[in-house]
Chain A
Amino acid sequence: MFDFGIVTRWFDQLLCGIMPGWLATTIEGVIIAVALILVYAVLALFYILYERKLCAWFQCRLGPMRVGRWGWMQVFADMFKILIKELIKLRNTDKFLFELAPYLVILASMLSFAVLPWGRGLQIIDFNIGVFFMIAVSGLGVIGILLAGWASDSKYTLVGALRGGAQMISCELSVAMSIMTMVVLAGTMSISGIVYAQEDAWFIFKGHVPAIIAFIIYLIAATAETNRGPFDLPEAEHELTAGYHTEYSGIHFGFFYLAEYLNLFIVSGIAALMFLGGWMPLHIPGCDGFNMVMDWIPSVIWFLGKAFFISFIIIWFKWSFPRVRIDQLLAMEWKYLMPIGLFNIALMTVVVVYGWHF
């Protein structure tokens, strides 16, 4: 399997050879930032199309067809349009906070986007508390949503934002809990460490019962955390028209829209990392031929494939399930997911201590 670390190290040495170290670091930082934003935008566009095509498929429709072959240019048309759409300035609002909110939301998703391991050696930063950092920055998004709702000076947005606040903060607990369960199994918080720990078997196989419980809890709670159906209460279209971003137009709305799709990718990516081995290929002990074939598939493809698969599941139930009510959601979170998650950590600890995992 190709190690991208070779490329990055070579590039780093090349730069350091011709310029002082601080300049090389700066240039590398800029290049990475640009690449990050590019990948972010491309992935978001891809996800928009991916979801539209998928939901069209569930709904016996075709989805976008006419703009580009199979409608692949549709998202670019949407992007051009939304970029030059008028930004409506509202009277009687806190203008600074109103404009700040979408950037906060997109910043939060971009920061957690940055820690994902894309492939062997293809990771922006790998430090020993990577998981902790990831959980911390993904929590920033809720501030953006609360601000958006509050600064818009509208009752719909306020109800949407308060719902969003309550929902995201409580569901983050379960997300963190199920991630912690896997950290117990891995014995490390470093993201690359977690991936390498799954070299022999993915965690979902390795940790069997507690890992599967954690996976299910994670899927439910992560969907709720990203405000996607059936937990899309903060923007519940049929109750609050568009929820916390009702008053946003143009690219400000576009940021919320992009962040929503990217968050979907991020939670799928984290699930892939924590449960499905990150970029690790699928290995079946004993079948060497099969394992070799799997090794030939580049690690980036593995990672993206797993993430898309999990997104597929999330999109699937978004379009099929009705929306829950806010009190039901909170009851589910605090009465079921949280206690089960806590119990699950204990169970996993026991499993790890006695070495009952594979």
Chain B
Amino acid sequence: MGVKIKSMKQEDFKDNEYIESLIKKLKENGTNAVVGMFDDLINWGRSNSLWPFTFGTSCCAIEFMSLGAARYDMARFGFEVARNSPRQADFIMLQGTIVHRMASPMRRLYEQLAEPKYVIAVGGCAISGGPFRNSYCVVKGVDQILPVDVYIPGCPPRPEAMFYGMMQLQRKIKVERFFGGVNRKERIRDFLAQHPEEEFEKR
């Protein structure tokens, strides 16, 4: 049981229990053959065409640039078109520390992303605050304000580590369902409800 992506073998991933439990949950009630086929097609498209939203605050952003540059070349896997407008991107790679002043623009950027949207927290700072955890104005982990799909630890993570994380995201997308029970959307809604914006001004 596993999810196949072309870039990396199932055995090469560590700790596959999470993905396996997701698959189990999906298969619990069985799947309609036609709907399942469409789901597979859509998930194939989505997982192979993830356009990152260029969002970097510090060091990790430079590693992200290396990721796009000739040696690592993320275009090979379909992450080619880095969009600068959140409306057109699929996932946001949070590279770097998020501080108090950035928290609300960050949340707004996330809400501007079009569904389906995913978040990858890159680097120690985005995951937990990293070396700046004790600071007076650093958000201690971006999961306090956004629902995060994949965490990539490191300070900054090597480009290979970023690839690993991005492929984990691909696998996660492959076990989603578009038709029928969409569990993802509810999860985001729950998250946003638990972390309300006090008087978030709507334009």
Interface residues of A (CB under 8 A from B): 52, 56, 59-67, 71, 73-74, 76-82, 84-88, 91-92, 237-238, 241-242, 245-250, 253
List B59-93 residues whose CB lies under 8 Å from chain A: 69-70, 73, 75-78, 80-81, 83-85, 87-88, 90
A66: which of B42, B77, B84, B85 is its contact (CB, 8 Å)? B77
Q: Which residues of A contact B75 (CB under 8 A)?
A: 52, 56, 61-64
Q: Which residues of B contact A65 (CB under 8 A)?
A: 76-77
Assuming the contacts A64-B78, A242-B83, A249-B114, asked whether A59 and B44 have C-beta atoms less than 8 A apart, the reply is: no
How far in angstroms is the closest Cβ of chain B from A60?
4
Interface centre among B7, B88, B203 (most CB of A within 10 A): B88
A71: which of B70, B76, B114, B116 is its contact (CB, 8 Å)? B76
- Closest residue of chain A to B76 (Cβ to Cβ) is A65
A80: which of B44, B69, B88, B203 is its contact (CB, 8 Å)? B44
Q: By the criterion CB–CB under 8 Å, are B85 and A74 in contact?
A: no
* Cα(A26)–Cα(B112), bound, Å: 45
Q: Which residues of A contact B115 (CB under 8 A)?
A: 85-86
Q: By the criterion CB–CB under 8 Å, are B178 and A84 in contact?
A: yes
Interface residues of B (CB under 8 A from A): 6-7, 41-42, 44-46, 48-49, 69-70, 73, 75-78, 80-81, 83-85, 87-88, 90, 112, 114-116, 178, 202-203
Q: Which residues of B contact A245 (CB under 8 A)?
A: 85, 88
Q: By the criterion CB–CB under 8 Å, are B6 and A67 in contact?
A: yes
Q: Which residues of A contact B49 (CB under 8 A)?
A: 67, 74, 77-78, 80-82
A253: which of B45, B87, B202, B203 is its contact (CB, 8 Å)? B87
* Cα(A106)–Cα(B84), bound, Å: 23
- Closest residue of chain A to B74 (Cβ to Cβ) is A61
* Cα(A78)–Cα(B87), bound, Å: 15
Q: List the count of A-B residue pairs having beta carbons below 8 Å apart.
A: 105
How far in angstroms is the closest Cβ of chain A from B56?
14
Interface SS majority for chain A: loop
* Cα(A77)–Cα(B170), bound, Å: 13
Q: By the criterion CB–CB under 8 Å, are B45 and A246 in contact?
A: no
How far in angstroms is the closest Cβ of chain B from A83?
8
How far in angstroms is the closest Cβ of chain A from B149?
16
Q: Which residues of A contact B84 (CB under 8 A)?
A: 237-238, 241-242
Q: By the criterion CB–CB under 8 Å, are B87 and A66 in contact?
A: no
Q: Which residues of B contact A73 (CB under 8 A)?
A: 48
Interface SS majority for chain B: loop
- Closest residue of chain A to B48 (Cβ to Cβ) is A77
* Cα(A65)–Cα(B42), bound, Å: 20
* Cα(A79)–Cα(B42), bound, Å: 10
Assuming the contacts A62-B75, A63-B76, A253-B87, asked whether A74 and B48 have C-beta atoms less than 8 A apart, the reply is: yes
* Cα(A85)–Cα(B118), bound, Å: 13
Please name 19 pairs of A and B residues whose Cβ atoms are closer than 8 Å in the assembled complex, sorted by A. A52-B80, A59-B70, A61-B70, A62-B73, A62-B75, A62-B76, A64-B78, A66-B6, A74-B78, A77-B48, A78-B45, A80-B49, A81-B48, A84-B42, A87-B114, A88-B114, A91-B203, A92-B203, A238-B84
Q: Which residues of A contact B6 (CB under 8 A)?
A: 66-67
Q: Which residues of B contact A241 (CB under 8 A)?
A: 84-85
Q: Which residues of B contact A248 (CB under 8 A)?
A: 87-88
* Cα(A248)–Cα(B83), bound, Å: 12
- Closest residue of chain B to A55 (Cβ to Cβ) is B75
How far in angstroms is the closest Cβ of chain B from A16?
41
Other CB < 8 Å A-B pairs besides A61-B70, A63-B75, A63-B80, 14 of them?
Answer: A56-B73, A62-B75, A63-B73, A64-B75, A66-B76, A74-B80, A77-B45, A78-B45, A86-B114, A86-B116, A88-B114, A241-B84, A245-B85, A250-B114
* Cα(A71)–Cα(B7), bound, Å: 12
Interface centre among B49, B70, B83 (most CB of A within 10 A): B49
A-B CB proximity, top 7 nearest:
A80-B45, A86-B115, A77-B48, A249-B87, A249-B114, A242-B85, A65-B76
Q: By the criterion CB–CB under 8 Å, are A246 and B70 in contact?
A: no
Q: Which residues of A contact B45 (CB under 8 A)?
A: 76-81, 84
How far in angstroms is the closest Cβ of chain A from B203?
7
